Structure 1
Amino acid sequence: MTLSTLAEALRAHPSIRSKLGIARATRALGLSASSDGRPGDDAAPLPRDGGYDLLAGEGFIPAFVADDPWFAGWCALMVNLSDIAAMGGRAVALVDQIWAPDEASAAPLLQGLRDASTAYGVPVVGGHTNFAAPQLSIAASVFGRAERLITSVDAMPGDVLVAAIDHRGAYRNFDNFFAALEAPGPRPRGDLELLPQLAEDGLVRAGKDISQGGIVGTALMLAECSGVGIDLDTTAITPPPGVPLDRWLRSFPSFGFLLSVAPGDAGAVCQRFAHRGIEASAIGAVTPGSAVRLGDESGSALFWDHATHPYLDLGGHHA
C-alpha cells in the first residue's frame, strides 16, 4: 500500500471521521478552545490551590455495548482513567450511568465495571441506573487531580513525538487492542502512574491518550489543539506481530499515549516506559504549519491539514 493510498484510507475510515461530531456538539453548546475546562483536552482542568481538579466522561456506542457488555463495563472505567493520566493526573473516583431492559442484562456490564474498579484501585462511588430502558447502554464520568498538567495545547515545532503503547494484548471487538485483562492487579495502576510522574518531572511538554481514531487521529487532534503540524514516520511505528500497519494506525489501545517531548528528553521518557515493559519510541516530529503527514523512505503523503479542514474545530489554540 502506498503512502497516499494509506492516508486516503485512514482519512475515510469511520473511527477517524467519527471525531468530526465533536465540532457539531461544541458549536451547539457555544464552546471553544478558550472556554472553561479547555475543550479539546482529554479532561477538563479546573485550577485549584496547588494544582488542578480534572473532570472527564465517556459514553459508549450501543453496538459496542451489545457486542461485549463485560468489556464495555471495564472500558467505562479504563478509558476514563486514561484521559486523567493523559493530563498528568491521578483518578480519584468514578460515577456511572447505566440503562438496561432489566437487571439480568445489566449484570455483565456492572461486573466489568466492578472488575476494572478492583484492578485499577479507583472506586465507583455512585451514579444513575435505569432497568426499564429499551437497550443496554453505559456512560461514566471520572474525577481526578493533577499537580502539573500535560496539555494538548503546548506541543512545539522541534519536539519529538513519542508513542508509548502496551503491546501485551490482543484485539477484543472492533479495533480495540486490549492489554489489561491478564495483567496482575498492581501493573495497570503502576503503568498509569508513569504519566503524572513524567509531568511532575517536567519531561513531557504536551500529549494525548490514543483514543478512537488511533495514532493518526490522535496526532491530528494534538496538532490542531497546539496549532502545529506533525510528521509521522511510518517506518518507526511497529505494530504487534501479525497486525497490519493500517489497522494499527487506527486502533484504540487500552494503554497508549502520544507525547510531545523536547528532543533531549525523548530517551529518558522512552526508558521510563521500557522499564515497565511498555513499547515506547520516537515516531515523528512536531513541525510548523498545520499538516499531519505520513512518511517513509520514499517520501511523504498528506493525511490531514487542520487549517483547511478543521477536525475538532474549536477556534484556534492557546498561545
Structure 2
Amino acid sequence: MAQAERPLSDHPTAAESADARTTLAGLGEAAVLARIFPRLPAADAALLGPGDDAAVLAAPDGRYVVTTDMLVHGPDFRWEFSTPTDLGWKAAATNLSDVAAMGARPTALVVAIAAPQDTQVDVLEGVADGLRLACAELAPGCGVVGGDLSTSDVFTIAVTAFGDLDGRRPVRRSGARPGDVVAVAGELGVAARGIALLFESGLEAARGTDAHAVARQLRPMPPIALGVVAADAGATAMMDVSDGLALDARRLARASVVDIEFDALGDDQLRGGEDHSLLATFPADVPLPDGFLRIGAVAPGVGRLLVSGSVFDELGGWDPYAQWDGRLS
C-alpha cells in the first residue's frame, strides 16, 4: 500500500554505527542461522523442522493450502517507519490471512530473506522475533519450518505459508451466489489511514495523531481464526482484503460472475488496503458468525461493484504495477 514519497533509508537507523563483525557479511551464513533459529516459532505440524534440505510436515487432511507473499523495501515497507520486529510480524500476518481466507488453519511458514551484506544480524533476529510473536498471537501452533538467506541491494522477505483444511472444502473467490449476504470481519481503512499519517508527518507525530491506525499499518491484526469459523458456517466465497475493499470485492465479483452491491460505506473504507480483513459471502438464511458484519448483498451480474446503487468503477485500492513507479523521491 505504501508509495514512495521521500528518499528511502536502506537500513534501520540503529544499524548504522554497529560493529562490522555483527553484519551478515562479517558473521557468515552458518553463524547468522545459529542466532536466528532459536528465535523462530516451532510448528506443531512439523515432523522435521529446520536443519535438513527440506522440512517434513504432517497433513492429516491429505490436502494442504499453500500461498506466498513478499515484502520489498520501498513499495511494501520502510525502515524509517518499521522495526525489524514489525517487519517479521507483518510478513507472517499477510500470509496467515491468505490461508485463513481459504477456510484453512495455518500450520507452517517457510521464510526467505535477501538483505544487503552490511545489514546487522540483530535486524534478522528482530525479524525472527516478529515472526514468532505474530504466530503466537494470530495462529498458535503455526511456526517456521525452513527458508533461505541471500544477499541483495534491496531488503526483501518472502514467506510461503501452509494450511490444513481439516476436512473442510476450500472456500474460493468464485462461489458467491445471487441472494448471498456480503460481510466482513476486521477493520476497513484503518491501516491506510496509518500509512497516510506516516508519510505526512513521520512516525512519532503519526503515533501522536492516531496510534491505533499506525499500529495496524505496521502490525496488522487479521482475524485468522474467523476463516475456519466462516467456512464452518457455510461461507460461499471468501478472500483476504489486502489491496482495498473495492478492488478486492471486484475481484471476488468477477471470479463469481455476479455483482456485489455494498450498503453505504465511507470512501476510506472502500479504498484503504492492508487491513487484511476477511470479506465473505453467506447464504441469506445462514446467521452471520460472531465477528462478521453485513455490508451488502450479492446480485446477478457480470462482476460489477455497486455502492449505494451506483456503479463504482474506480481502481479503489493498491495495484503495485499500476501505482508504483519506482521513484525514490
Same fold (TM over 0.5): yes
SS of residue matched to 2:313: strand
- Cα distance in 1 for partners of 2:190, 2:147 equals 30
User: Hey, what does 2:160 align to over in structure 1?
Assistant: 141
Q: Provide, for residues 246-277 of structure 1, a one-character-per-residue CA deviation record: whole Å limited to 9, x for no partner.
A: 23212235451111111111xx224x21xxxx
- Cα distance in 1 for partners of 2:219, 2:112 equals 27
Q: Provide, for residues 128-185 of structure 1, a one-character-per-residue CA deviation record: whole Å limited to 9, x for no partner.
A: 012x4212111100111112221111111111111222479765435987559999xx
Report if the CA contact (8 A) 1:292-1:304 is conserved.
Answer: no
- Alignment partner of 1:80 is 2:91: no
SS of residue matched to 1:303: coil
User: Hey, what does 1:89 align to over in structure 2?
Assistant: 104
- Cα distance in 2 for partners of 1:138, 1:256 equals 22
Report if the CA contact (8 A) 2:87-2:127 is conserved.
Answer: yes
Report if the CA contact (8 A) 1:166-1:253 is conserved.
Answer: no
- Cα distance in 2 for partners of 1:96, 1:144 equals 15
Q: Closer, same or farther in 2 for the Cα pair 1:56/1:177, shift >3 Å?
A: farther
User: Hey, what does 1:207 align to over in structure 2?
Assistant: 238
Alignment of 1:1-319 (within 5 A): 50=61, 52-63=63-74, 64-67=76-79, 68=82, 69-101=84-116, 102=119, 103-120=121-138, 121=140, 122-130=142-150, 132-146=151-165, 147-148=167-168, 149-166=170-187, 171-173=193-195, 178-179=215-216, 191-201=223-233, 203-212=234-243, 214-233=244-263, 235=264, 237=265, 245-265=266-286, 268-270=287-289, 272-273=290-291, 280-296=292-308, 299-303=309-313
Q: Closer, same or farther in 2 for the Cα pair 1:179/1:167, shift >3 Å?
A: farther
* Amino acid aligned to 1:229: D
Deviates more, 1:159-168 or 1:71-80: 159-168
Q: Provide, for residues 221-254 of structure 1, a one-character-per-residue CA deviation record: whole Å limited to 9, x for no partner.
A: 1011112221222x2x3xxxxxxx3232122354
SS of residue matched to 1:283: strand
- Cα distance in 2 for partners of 1:173, 1:150 equals 30
Between Structure 1 and Structure 2, which shows a larger proportion of strand residues?
Answer: 1
User: Hey, what does 1:31 align to over in structure 2?
Assistant: none
Report if the CA contact (8 A) 1:227-1:289 is conserved.
Answer: yes
* Amino acid aligned to 1:303: D
Structure possessing the higher radius of gyration over alpha carbons: 2
Q: Closer, same or farther in 2 for the Cα pair 1:172/1:115, shift >3 Å?
A: farther
SS of residue matched to 2:296: strand
Q: Closer, same or farther in 2 for the Cα pair 1:169/1:248, shift >3 Å?
A: closer
- Cα distance in 2 for partners of 1:179, 1:66 equals 15
SS of residue matched to 2:235: coil
Deviates more, 1:221-230 or 1:160-169: 160-169
Q: Closer, same or farther in 2 for the Cα pair 1:232/1:92, shift >3 Å?
A: same
- Cα distance in 2 for partners of 1:180, 1:250 equals 14
SS of residue matched to 1:230: strand
Q: Closer, same or farther in 2 for the Cα pair 1:177/1:230, shift >3 Å?
A: farther
SS of residue matched to 1:76: helix
Which structure 1 segments of 5+ residues have no match?
A: 1-12, 16-47, 238-244, 274-279, 306-319
Report if the CA contact (8 A) 2:100-2:227 is conserved.
Answer: yes
- Cα distance in 2 for partners of 1:172, 1:304 equals 22
SS of residue matched to 2:239: strand
- Cα distance in 2 for partners of 1:66, 1:106 equals 15
RMSD across aligned positions (CA): 3.4
- Cα distance in 1 for partners of 2:63, 2:144 equals 21
Which structure 2 segments of 5+ residues have no match?
A: 4-58, 198-212, 316-329
Q: Closer, same or farther in 2 for the Cα pair 1:217/1:51, shift >3 Å?
A: farther
